[in-house]
Amino acid sequence: MKLKTEFETIIFGIRDTIAEIRLNRPYRLNAVVEQLYSDVIAGIDLAESNAEVRVIVITGEGRAFCVGADLKTHGKGERSPLEKREYLLLGNEVCRRIYMSSKPVIAAVNGYALGAGAEISVSSDFILMKESAQLGFPEVSIGTFVGGGITQILPRLVGLAKARELIISGRRINGREAVAIGLATRSFDDDGFETGVEDFARSIAAKAPFSLRFAKQHLNDAGRSYEATLVTELEALRACMVTQDWKEGIAAFAEKRKPVFKGH
């Protein structure tokens, strides 16, 4: 993987058309501090600004994806009320940037994804998990609350009853159960995880970028009415029809080959 820039708390790299943001505080199981949130946002900015990047993968270094807030830092009680609010806003902004990114985001959950780690995962377009990984929302159980728009997104993914169970009980689920309830897209055994993530990311990256962008925008906009959706889908289709990728897709279909999309 070609390293593009260095950060304090993440490893950022680009391989072909895939950008990877690897949370890199393994000695704290990638627990969140302000700098990690800031670095993730900067990594998303880099991926967004690179026309060659088609897909963003977020994963964790070591045996965890992200275990949530760094309670050791919280426990010091050194933040002022304003600093606490800024920290919370950063967490929301990370989830918003993932959810609203013009490029598909894959959460490759390699281990524990708890609290903020689960929120980052659910904000992504796809969750790929090791079977042994665990995802959960412990917030209510420890007297705090979820963030990142999770109370809106999670019920859309798994239904209201299951979302209530996961958030209120704080129960952790593994990769296989996450797939069964519709939360995760794929679950892999530990040995096949990296290959599975790579293959899935490449399959998404092979799609036409404009089509991907329109698909993500429409699927994530839960507030748009049916009549409005008819209009915006039509406009998206018209926009696709004037691209070179549209012509390539038609030609590839006629010639019975895989299309090679270039994003214009």
Q: Bridge partners of 3? A: 13
Q: Provide the strand spans (E) within the chain.
A: 2-6, 10-15, 18-23, 55-60, 64-66, 105-109, 112-114, 126-130, 134-136, 173-174, 186-188
Q: Cα separation of 129 and 20, whole Å?
A: 16
Length of the chain: 264
Per-residue buried b or exposed e for 59-76, using 16+ beta carbons within 10 Å of the residue's own CB: bbbbebbbbbbbeebbee
* Cross-sheet strand order for the sheet of 126-130: 2-6, 10-15, 18-23, 55-60, 105-109, 126-130, 186-188
Per-residue buried b or exposed e for 26-40, using 16+ beta carbons within 10 Å of the residue's own CB: eebbbbbbbebbbbb
Active-site positions read: 119, 139
Cβ atoms within 10 Å, residue 115 = 25
Cβ atoms within 10 Å, residue 259 = 17
